[in-house]
Structure 1
Amino acid sequence: MRRAFLAFVALLLLGVAIMLIPWFGWGNVSGPAQSFEVKRGASLSGVARDLETAGLAKSAWQFRVLARVLGDDAPVQAGRYRLRAGTPWRDILATLQKGEVERFTVTIPEGWPAVLVAERLNAVSGLTGKASVPAEGSILPDTYEYQPGEDRAVLMKRMQTAMIKTLADLWPKRTARAVVKTPEQAIVLASIVEKETGKASERRMIAGVYSNRLAQGMKLDADPTVIYPITAGKPLGRRIRQSELRRDTGYNTYLKPGLPRGPIANPGRDSIMAVLDPDDTQALYFVADGSGGHVFAKTLAEHNANVARWFALRRQRGEM
């Protein structure tokens, strides 16, 4: 009788241990990640059934029992999750209760023109509707979260709202060295700064040069402003032609002093801040230095010498 009782107890303990294996993940083999959705208002029982259907839990009944006995009473949160078969069930439950939903993001790089913003949004799968090309300079470059099924126009509106808020935050912080008179002018000049340098450390210096030129009534002579009306801001892929330098498009800063008619890209926060707080410099010129940056000059003679060195380097590289 005693042996039978001990055998019963042993079998009972073994059964409990076996039942607990998936809860703690003892010896589990992790499977590939998959998307799992918890619909709004879903119950624990319904979620358990969906987990079994998805192959994330072998038994809906077992998951539900263990969740009620060993889990807490927090409700599962609606949303789309990224889960793996073989994950301990306690971790799956915790993920669903904490609402650690799968993050869907899209990134708009600094300096992208509006046409590329629309192309990127239209290429993102899972969104609905079609994104039209926004007003140039109205998008704040950043990484944005979205949910599957969201309208592209709604997502774009969030990007534009972010630019409005950022500009409203930065404009009052402008220094006495800033030459732009309105927030709109700040976006225009920041878009040129953004296109002129890929080095964050140069932004304020480039902004300082252009601010000096604007203050003295000099032409900006900015190549990106010539390219913009030709390609809508996309890379030109060749050298600018002399005929294009003579063409009055409203953007060509080689023809007349002052800012172009509008932005030529979507500038990032740092470039906007650079034109609102430009470097305190006397430089009026700059040219590429061959290493991804620029060399600056106060006088035309110094600039011409720098240009000559740059051309010599390009000829040495076989680029001219």
Structure 2
Amino acid sequence: MWRAVASNALTLLIVAIFLMGGLILWGKEQYNAEGPLAEAICVRVPSGARLSQISEDLEDRGAVSSGAILRIGADYTDKTNQLKAGSFLVPAGASMEEIVDVLTRGGANTCGTEIVYRIGVTRSSVQVRELDPTTNRFVERAEFDPSGEEPVPAIFETMRARNDTRYRVTVAEGVTSWQVVDALSRVDVMEGEVAEVPAEGSLAPDSYEVTVGADRQALIDRMETAQEVILEAAWVERADNLPYDTPEEALIMASIIEKETGVAEERDQVASVFINRLNQGMRLQTDPTVIYGITNGQGVLGRGLRQSELRGETPYNTYVIDGLPPTPIANPGRAAIEAAVNPSSTDFLFFVADGSGGHAFARTLAEHNENVARWRQIEAERASE
């Protein structure tokens, strides 16, 4: 009898071992297999969150077939207590193993909300935007003027209170150094003062990620270093026979190109016009330089130029002076700098607005006068509408 009992017990034990082994193999396959998530999602891990909470959220959102298996797998690989706070993108079809890796790897957030402080040529703004995981594109949630003239949207305060919100300062091509310093003084997540307004043209327009408490002068230093690198690289690759001898003069030209056109495809042609003029001893005769001589880069003029201003003698009035003005008139972007040192090969000497946002180019004064007449007609038609 006891022999039979022992035999049956052994049999049951063997069966249990096989069943347990099969269960472990099945669980491992589930942990490593492609997940059920049809579209990417953004998973937010609050500071101090436990894996049990996150796994339940993942199961509810259809990212995993079993929160329990995810927890067991994470525990087996010693990652249960390695969750990192933040917002992380979980791609479609991610396995539980991949999801655990995403949530414990750390590093910069890969999705979620950003607050962007935009420094523009005509205005600055604060934008609250959120990454849509399904399209991997940012969706604007709110935008307002930081000067205090507009009410601050509630979503801004909500996102400011979250510890996983990211911050960016975005500088547009063509802003002046004074505009950058002035706008940075209103970026409320930053600290410190800028020692002095940087040299015009020395700041690289770009999007810079910052953290709460970041130093304003340190950000200015980053912008200056970036512009030095861009200018140096472009100057090394410059075309032959340019009408200027130094990278600093190329930077002045780039700033004029930047202010003359907002159409990316035109920069090389605009550059060719000014270079052809310099090569032929013609004056540049460009309005943005005159405007800079009036405003000193401190804001926008906000009106048209007067004839007296076009005739007035300032170091920046290229209707009066020969050659380039003494300094850049704005901070040009990479494309404008590259256009200044590698312009298109044309024989254009003139250009004027064409009504589409771009310009009509001309080789002779007669052609240019025809283009100007067309533009005046467009202006008149628009004024009468």
Q: Give the TM bin, normalised by the shorter chain.
A: 0.7 to 0.9
| 1:288-307 correspondence to structure 2 within 5 Å | 288-307=353-372
Q: Distance in 1 between matches of 2:45 and 2:359?
A: 47
Residue 72 (structure 1) shift: 5.2
SS state at 2:49 partner: helix
Runs (4+) of structure 1 exceeding 6 A deviation are 24-27, 63-66, 88-92
For the structure 1 residues 148 and 301, does the alpha-carbon distance in structure 2 shift closer, same or farther, using more than 3 Å as the test? same
After superposition, the CA RMSD in angstroms is: 4.4
Instruction: Give the conservation status (yes or no) of the 8 Å contact 2:171–2:207.
Output: yes
Q: Distance in 1 between matches of 2:183 and 2:45?
A: 23
SS state at 1:101 partner: coil
| 1:217-236 correspondence to structure 2 within 5 Å | 217-231=281-295, 232=297, 234-236=299-301
Match of 1:308 in 2: 373
* 2:215 paired with 1:151: yes
Residue 92 (structure 1) shift: 6.7
Aligned residue among 97, 101, 115 for 1:94:
101
Match of 1:200 in 2: 264
For the structure 1 residues 122 and 319, does the alpha-carbon distance in structure 2 shift closer, same or farther, using more than 3 Å as the test? farther
* 2:311 paired with 1:246: yes
Greater alpha carbon shift after TM alignment, 290-299 vs 93-102: 93-102
For the structure 1 residues 233 and 153, does the alpha-carbon distance in structure 2 shift closer, same or farther, using more than 3 Å as the test? same
Instruction: Give the conservation status (yes or no) of the 8 Å contact 1:118–1:133.
Output: yes
Match of 2:125 in 1: none
Instruction: Give the conservation status (yes or no) of the 8 Å contact 2:315–2:321.
Output: no
Residue type of the alignment partner of 2:332: P
For the structure 1 residues 207 and 65, does the alpha-carbon distance in structure 2 shift closer, same or farther, using more than 3 Å as the test? same
Q: Deviations over 1:222-271 (max 9, x none)?
A: 11111113331643222111222122231111111111111111111111
Q: Distance in 1 between matches of 2:340 and 2:42?
A: 48
Aligned residue among 109, 130, 135 for 2:193:
130
For the structure 1 residues 89 and 116, does the alpha-carbon distance in structure 2 shift closer, same or farther, using more than 3 Å as the test? farther
| 1:161-172 correspondence to structure 2 within 5 Å | 161-172=225-236
SS state at 2:200 partner: coil
* 2:170 paired with 1:107: yes
Residue 32 (structure 1) shift: 9.3
Residue type of the alignment partner of 2:339: A
For the structure 1 residues 26 and 296, does the alpha-carbon distance in structure 2 shift closer, same or farther, using more than 3 Å as the test? closer
Q: Distance in 2 between matches of 1:113 and 1:214?
A: 24
Aligned residue among 208, 227, 246 for 1:182:
246
Match of 2:49 in 1: 51
Residue type of the alignment partner of 2:189: G
Q: Distance in 2 between matches of 1:120 and 1:33?
A: 33
SS state at 1:169 partner: helix
Residue 307 (structure 1) shift: 1.0
Aligned residue among 308, 321, 342 for 1:277:
342
Q: Distance in 1 between matches of 2:360 and 2:254?
A: 20
For the structure 1 residues 159 and 222, does the alpha-carbon distance in structure 2 shift closer, same or farther, using more than 3 Å as the test? same
| 1:71-86 correspondence to structure 2 within 5 Å | 71=77, 76=82, 81-82=86-87
Q: Distance in 2 between matches of 1:35 and 1:174?
A: 49
Q: Deviations over 1:109-130 (max 9, x none)?
A: 1112112222443333432223
Aligned residues: 302
Residue 306 (structure 1) shift: 1.4
Residue type of the alignment partner of 2:258: E
For the structure 1 residues 229 and 93, does the alpha-carbon distance in structure 2 shift closer, same or farther, using more than 3 Å as the test? farther
Residue type of the alignment partner of 1:244: E
Aligned residue among 116, 122, 136 for 2:179:
116
Match of 2:277 in 1: 213
Greater alpha carbon shift after TM alignment, 181-190 vs 244-253: 244-253
Name structure 2 gaps, 5 residues minimum: 1-32, 57-69, 90-94, 111-165
Q: Distance in 1 between matches of 2:352 and 2:384?
A: 16
Instruction: Give the conservation status (yes or no) of the 8 Å contact 1:228–1:234.
Output: no
Residue type of the alignment partner of 1:108: V
SS state at 1:51 partner: coil
Residue type of the alignment partner of 1:213: R
Q: Which has the higher contact order (CA 8 A, sep 6+)?
A: 1
Match of 1:237 in 2: 302
SS state at 2:336 partner: helix
Q: Distance in 2 between matches of 1:133 and 1:296?
A: 36
Residue type of the alignment partner of 1:308: A
For the structure 1 residues 35 and 266, does the alpha-carbon distance in structure 2 shift closer, same or farther, using more than 3 Å as the test? farther
Instruction: Give the conservation status (yes or no) of the 8 Å contact 1:177–1:276.
Output: no
Residue type of the alignment partner of 1:110: E
